[in-house]
Amino acid sequence: MTSAVSGEPSDVLDEEHAKGRGERTAATLAPVRRAVVFDLDGVIVDSFAVMNEAFALAYKEVVGEGPAPFDEYRRHLGRYFPDIMRIMGLPLEMEEPFVRESYRLAPKVPVFEGVVELLLTLRVRGIKLAVATGKSGPRARSLLEQLGLLPFFAHVLGSDEVPRPKPAPDIVEHALRLLGVRADEALMVGDAPTDLASAQGAGVAAIAALWAVDDADELLAARPDAVLRRPADLLDLCPPVPGA
């Protein structure tokens, strides 16, 4: 099948398969989209190198010498840091040095190519924007402010600011309430299965971002409504809001 997003095979779920599951495909994303909720790491910013460095330093400080299991940590991204530590069986005390080093290294985090242009175009088109991240809210807002991106977003929400973090739908539902839009008027863009699960639980179209994904199989297995290979592909799903 050919994608309605990028023209490449397998970029959008097979329509008949999706209809059988009551899902939306790109062809049925026709309702006016008034808002986009973004994940942060791996979607807006390429933070993995900095994250790796902060994780290694925190591991050495709390656990001791030896290779830090960052590859395993990365498989759980999208979740709140303490939840990842519990899943991995690592000390919760790693959070303090990890957060400390993340703040220190934040100026080294690059923005993905094409993201600034995407945010500018969405704003011109009248689309409301928010961030829903596994990071804490203060750390996410601090990073976006340092990068000059914070003004693009009406709201930036962290996992510490909702009762249940991803993969629960709470953070996406909270974003919708703050933005004043219905679930069928919004899209959620993420690079991890937890992002898509949170969107799907909230009744929001779940969009997979592949520009920072090394192995897309797990993400595609989460059955996104559409798949994007570069930031600009999102514009096909977000035409100008009438009267904006």
Q: What's the chain's length in residues?
A: 244
Residue 243's region, left for phi above 0, alpha for psi from -120 to 50, else beta, is left
Check if the beta carbon of residue 156 is closer than 8 Å to that of residue 130.
yes
The residue from 11, 14, 41, 184 that is catalytic is 41
Rounded CA-CA distance 142/150 in Å is 8
Separation of CA 190 from chain center:
3
Check if the beta carbon of residue 184 is closer than 8 Å to that of residue 203.
yes
Check if the beta carbon of residue 186 is closer than 8 Å to that of residue 34.
yes
The residue from 11, 39, 83, 191 that is catalytic is 39
SS3 letters across 181-203: CCHHHEEEEECCHHHHHHHHHCC
Residue 91: other Cβ atoms inside 10 A: 12
Rounded CA-CA distance 108/128 in Å is 28
Residue 205: DSSP 8-state: E
User: Is 225 among the residues known to form the active site?
Assistant: no
Task: Give all strands (DSSP E) within the chain, no chain letters.
Answer: 35-38, 128-133, 155-158, 186-190, 205-209, 226-228
User: Is 46 among the residues known to form the active site?
Assistant: no
Please name which of 78, 157, 148 lies closest in space to residue 106, comparing C-alpha atoms: 148
Question: Which residues participate in catalysis according to the annotation?
Answer: 39, 41
